[in-house]
Amino acid sequence: MNTLYDKLHGLDPEFYTEDRVTPMLATVERIKKLKRERNAVVLAHNYQRPEIFEVADFLGDSLGLSLKAAEVKDADVIVFCGVHFMAETAKIVNPEKVVLLPNLAAGCSLADMATGPEVAKRVAELRKTYPDLQVVTYVNTTAEVKAHSDACCTSSNAVSVVRALESQHILFIPDQNLARHVALHVPEKTIIAWDGYCYVHHQITPETVMTMRRQIPGIKILVHPECRDDVVALADAALSTSGMVEYAQASKATDFLAVTECGLSDLLQISVPDKTFYRACKICRFMKAISLDDVEQSLLQNRFQIEVDEPVRSRARMALNRMFELTGETRDNLSLPDSVANE
């Protein structure tokens, strides 16, 4: 048995059969060859299909990928295995590089819940009442929306970004659940939440979490802040996806429930094989849109190229830079997971 087969078959024996995995091996090798020929790097989100991890140069959550995208210097091509707004972020910070999204179906319903004109109108209305209003946009937004914001944030640094802003009134776009999480931790400020949510996290219920806690005594419940507040209230910790990886690696506990998109459970099981990760998760159809074949064709045909026009790009870049300025985050002071690719 090969290593890739052992990994994938262990995650889902019914789907990852030997007949299905064997062709993937050849595709993985072709992609690695194409990466060398095109001087390309592959950035992949933690929610991707587990076979995508095999060709990734870097795995991470939205913060880790934002940092890594900003640090890509030597590569000519960035292949982004995530969703559209993430590939846009890579292009915002690397305007001179070719940025490819392997499948255009990899969108984001949360990002689609806010548009540039809608944000501009709402900001103009609110500033009549709150002249000091600052706009914080979650990175799960389009470049056009980022361009209307004062600072971006991720799930792992949203509290720090909002706390660091001098304004008393914050319009938080677009996730209402993350906005409530921030408001809980920064009670001295007024958080005005946009009416948006991630359909994957929003459908996870307290009943599901409580059932797992009753069935497995001592289990550690890790939830993403995009979950509903009644789900977050039941957790041992509310963490970003990379934060969950770090928590599980450091904890003495052996049983965990990762309440987020199911792809993270795959990564956790691969990264920490001596522990058990149960599932109360949902599948994101957008994150699972990209296949190994898509990555190969993207490199072969230069498809699909992501472009962000000026002045949207420069304004969005200012909002991203503001996030790093407010939090002091750099790649060096973060403990982010290394790639699991066997280069």
CATH number at residue 212: 3.40.50.10800
Q: Is residue 156 a part of any domain in this protein? A: yes
Q: At 117, phi and psi to the nearest 5?
A: -60, -35
Q: Is residue 146 a part of any domain in this protein? A: yes
227, 190: one domain: no
45, 16: one domain: yes
44, 100: one domain: yes
Q: Is 118 exposed, middle or buried (0-12, 13-18, 19+ CB in 10 A)?
A: middle
Q: Is residue 22 a part of any domain in this protein? A: yes
Please give the pLDDT value at position 329. Answer: 67
Q: Is residue 339 a part of any domain in this protein? A: no
Please give the pLDDT value at position 330. Answer: 53
Q: What angle do CA 55, 60, 61 make, to 5 degrees?
A: 140
Write out the residue range of the structural domain in which residue 154 sits.
Answer: 111-197
Q: At 58, phi and psi to the nearest 5?
A: -150, 135
Total domains, the chain: 3
Q: Is residue 136 a part of any domain in this protein? A: yes
* DSSP classification of residue 68: H
CA distance linking residue 316 with residue 311, whole number of Å: 9
Q: Is residue 337 a part of any domain in this protein? A: no
Q: Is residue 341 a part of any domain in this protein? A: no
Q: Is residue 333 a part of any domain in this protein? A: no
Domain end among 146, 172, 197: 197
238, 293: one domain: no
CA distance linking residue 96 with residue 102, whole number of Å: 19
Domain end among 197, 221, 240: 197
Domain end among 177, 197, 217: 197
pLDDT in tens, the chain (343 residues): 457 878 887 777 888 898 899 999 999 999 999 999 999 999 999 889 999 999 999 988 776 787 788 788 889 999 999 999 999 999 998 999 999 999 999 999 999 999 999 999 999 999 999 999 999 999 999 999 999 999 999 888 999 999 999 999 999 999 999 999 999 999 999 999 999 998 888 888 899 889 999 999 999 999 988 898 899 999 999 888 778 888 988 999 999 998 888 877 777 888 888 899 887 767 889 999 999 999 999 999 999 999 999 999 999 999 999 998 998 865 443 332 332 222 2
Please give the pLDDT value at position 234. Answer: 92
226, 176: one domain: no
Q: Which long-range contacts (CB under 8 A, 24 or more apart) does 68-74 make?
A: 68/43, 68/331, 69/43, 69/93, 69/94, 70/94, 70/320, 71/331, 72/41, 72/97, 74/39
Please give the pLDDT value at position 269. Answer: 82
Q: At 187, phi and psi to the nearest 5?
A: -65, -15
CA distance linking residue 243 with residue 62, whole number of Å: 11
141, 169: one domain: yes
Please give the pLDDT value at position 46. Answer: 85
